[in-house]
Amino acid sequence: MTTDKRSQSAHAPLLPANEILRAKALTVYERLVALYGAREHIPRREPMHELISTILSHRTTGKNEGEAYRNMWARFGSWQAIRDAPLPALIETLSPATFPEVKAPYIQGVLTRIATERGESEPNIDFLRDWPTDQALDWLMSMPGVGIKTATLVLLFCFGRPVLPVDTHVHRISQRVGLIGAKVNPTAAHPIVLALLPPDPYLLYNFHIANLRHGQQVCIWGTPHCEKCPLTDICDWYQKNRAARSGS
Ligand code: SF4
């Protein structure tokens, strides 16, 4: 740390730790959105599609997730037929995704639960639009194969609720920057990172999208491209691993 920086921090107003982290989270948002641009918050697909595709997306590329979803629909043609399909046939159609033998029973379990509870001939989850966020979150997370990341993604993307999906990119960047501790796992990170940001669905959506792009292009798994990053001055990982080495 330079003398200048020492004297600045010595004279900075003393903020409670949470306020410092909130300010840092907002800076991450502002700088990454300035870099990648803000997106209009418009649902990209209908809620059932989002839910099932997100189950398929676990440890799978977007391309393979899309191929598995299209295969499934080309072969069976309706949610009812997917629900009632012989398991081996459904597993076969999902083979572009990873773990199709795990995801196929999850998908049939979700479709069966919705049909049992809601009774509609063609399953849908549009009713969640009218439910309080916590209730909708609990309901989604009671479904087979649906954890907090999938549930928050559906509620934020499709229903504009003020929640934040912490995917691998949001988690990695939040850890490196120092919004969460090194031992905080992705599930535990959800309420922590959410509490640092304003409860604004547009902001949360763009925080998620900008972190996703940054994690894919710059703050990648392995060695990050810090030389291209606008967060170096507020990043704990950079300050510890790079700034110290370069003497800055
Ligand atoms: S400075 Fe480096 S480690 Fe920190 S957020 Fe940017 S790319 Fe990631």
User: Which tens digits make up the pLDDT trace of 105-142?
Assistant: 999 999 999 999 988 778 899 999 999 999 999 999 99
How many whole angstroms separate alpha carbon 231 and alpha carbon 228?
9
Q: Please report the DSSP string for 125-193 in residue order.
A: -GGGGGS-HHHHHHHHHTSTT--HHHHHHHHHHHH--S-----HHHHHHHHHHTSS-TT--HHHHHHHH
CA of 170 to the centre of ligand 1 (A): 12
How many whole angstroms separate alpha carbon 232 and alpha carbon 148?
30
How many whole angstroms separate alpha carbon 173 and alpha carbon 105?
33
CA of 176 to the centre of ligand 1 (A): 7
Pocket test for ligand 1, best of 173, 245, 246 (most atoms within 8 A of CB): 173
Give the amino acid at 30. E
231 Cβ inside 6 Å of ligand 1: yes
- When pLDDT is averaged across residues 162-169 and rounded to a whole number, the result is 97
Name the residue with the closest Cα to ligand 1, atom 2: 226
How many whole angstroms separate alpha carbon 146 and alpha carbon 151?
6
**pLDDT at residue number 40:** 93
24 Cβ inside 6 Å of ligand 1: no
Find tokens 């001055």 and name the residue.
Answer: 233
How many whole angstroms separate alpha carbon 72 and alpha carbon 168?
26
Which atom of ligand 1 is the closest one to the Cα of 230?
6
Pocket test for ligand 1, best of 235, 239, 245 (most atoms within 8 A of CB): 235
CA of 39 to the centre of ligand 1 (A): 22
100 Cβ inside 6 Å of ligand 1: no
CA of 233 to the centre of ligand 1 (A): 9
pTM over 0.85: yes
- When pLDDT is averaged across residues 46-66 and rounded to a whole number, the result is 94
**pLDDT at residue number 10:** 41
Model confidence band, residue 247 (pLDDT cutoffs 50, 70, 90): low
**pLDDT at residue number 149:** 96
Pocket test for ligand 1, best of 35, 36, 218 (most atoms within 8 A of CB): 218
170 Cβ inside 6 Å of ligand 1: no
What are the φ and ψ backbone dihedral angles of 140, each rounded to 5 degrees?
A: -60, -40
Give the amino acid at 76. F
CA of 29 to the centre of ligand 1 (A): 14
Q: Is the pLDDT of residue 223 over 50?
A: yes
Give the amino acid at 193. V
Q: Is the pLDDT of residue 3 over 50?
A: no
**pLDDT at residue number 4:** 37
Q: Domains, the chain, ranges and CATH?
A: 3-40+164-246 (1.10.1670.10), 47-159 (1.10.340.30)
